[in-house]
Copies of this chain bind each other. A is one copy, B any other.
Amino acid sequence: MTDSIRWGMVGGGINGFIGEVHRLATRLDGGFSLVAGCFSSNDERNRASGALFGVPEDRVYGDFATMARYEAARIDGIQAVSIVTPNHLHFAAARAFLEAGIDVICDKPLSTTLSQARDLEAIARENGRTLAVTYNYTGNAMIRLARQIVADGALGTLRLVQVEYIQDWLTDNIEQMGQKQAQWRTDPQQAGRAGCLGDIGVHAYNLASFVTGLQAERVCADLTRFVPGRQVDDNVQATLDFGNGTRGALWASQVAVGSENALRLRLIGDKASLSWEQEHPNQLQFTEHGSARQILSRNGAGFPPSLQHLCRVPAGHPEGYLEAFANIYGEIRQQLQGGSGDFPDVGDAINDLAFIEACLASDDNDNCWSALER
């Protein structure tokens, strides 16, 4: 389209997983043009990626700092960059682009420590830039409906927030068998101290926060390394205290044999409850106390017009992972084009890193309650 956002990437070279997802999401959104990138630290792979993605050769950069400087200097330089490297590189790259005056879209977790996230918040504010974080599940239309139902008070007083996110791809010690995704995600130098907790536990926590509008005050967390030789946790269970009488539980696992990407959120109030499962993301179960369970469906009967912009096709034509991801990019685009976008940003990342650090502290302290830093 004529008014696409000029967009670049740091990371995301050929054969990576999440970089391709970001590109698919932008294509589905339709409002981004990939015109620059620093796709890989491997020079050959970097160039091949640029060629494949149709990026002009002179805008394929060997390092992100150069990219930030040159793109900031071009009249037709990128307006936004997505950072999709391993976690430990997020901070420096994000800072470079923010300071160069370029809006940043960063994969989660924004950084490996809470203090880095706070620094980035300050840098973004000082430079007047957007710093979005792609918690993609928050873009799902039914999750947005759930948030609205909660906000409307339909659940009554919220009592319980139960969230789980379980996978099985790290059941075996595949990081020792050469699986690249597993290698960096289980390496504390690249992923941070939190393994499963930082990779998917944080998605679960973020989703719960997004829908409820609440942050935990304190947690009891039990982190486990089930697989011999693993350097980070591959399973985490936590009890959450959201204050004001709201409790919760979170379970994230990467050794849950038989589970692919089973993210599930259940909210229980004194008037009604909600349940959503990521693997069947077009439905939402809603039950008012004393009434029959209802299966709400995306764009289906009673779906609010205010959320229809998040749907591409009618009810019964399933949308999935990429559509939710694209909705996040769509909201970011709205904002970059001068409107108002509704997407997770550095503020969420700070809350999420406070959660991660509190879990690590609780686990270090024999699972006792640990308060989240405010």
Give A73-110 interface residues, CB cut-off 8 Å to B.
Answer: none
Contacts of A350 in B (CB 8 A): none
Contacts of A171 in B (CB 8 A): 270, 289
Task: State the CA gap A272–B257 with chains docked (Å).
Answer: 6
Say which one of A60-68, A112-120, A297-305 lies at the interface with B: A297-305
Would B290 and A301 count as touching, CB distance under 8 A? yes
Contacts of A222 in B (CB 8 A): 220, 239, 247
Would B224 and A316 count as touching, CB distance under 8 A? no
Say which one of A35-43, A202-210, A278-286 lies at the interface with B: A278-286
Task: State the CA gap A370–B285 with chains docked (Å).
Answer: 36
Contacts of A319 in B (CB 8 A): 320-322
Give A249-300 interface residues, CB cut-off 8 Å to B.
Answer: 249, 251, 253, 255-262, 268-273, 275, 278-282, 285-297, 300
**A257 touches which one: B249, B268, B282, B294 (CB < 8 A)?**
B268
Given contacts A160-B256, A226-B270, contact A366 B367 (CB under 8 A): no
Contacts of A273 in B (CB 8 A): 168, 256-259
Task: State the CA gap A366–B313 with chains docked (Å).
Answer: 38
| Max count, chain B CB within 10 A of own CB: residue among A249, A260, A289 | A260
Smallest Cβ distance from A109 to chain B, in angstroms?
A: 19
Would B247 and A224 count as touching, CB distance under 8 A? yes
Given contacts A257-B272, A321-B318, contact A292 B300 (CB under 8 A): yes
Would A292 and B295 count as touching, CB distance under 8 A? yes
Instruction: Identify the closest chain B residue to A224 (Cβ).
Output: B247
Would B258 and A287 count as touching, CB distance under 8 A? yes
Instruction: Identify the closest chain B residue to A29 (Cβ).
Output: B27
Q: Does A2 contact B (CB under 8 A)?
A: yes
Would A262 and B367 count as touching, CB distance under 8 A? no
**A280 touches which one: B172, B226, B280 (CB < 8 A)?**
B280
| Max count, chain B CB within 10 A of own CB: residue among A271, A295, A322, A366 | A322
| Max count, chain B CB within 10 A of own CB: residue among A258, A280, A287 | A258
Give A173-231 interface residues, CB cut-off 8 Å to B.
Answer: 220, 222, 224, 226
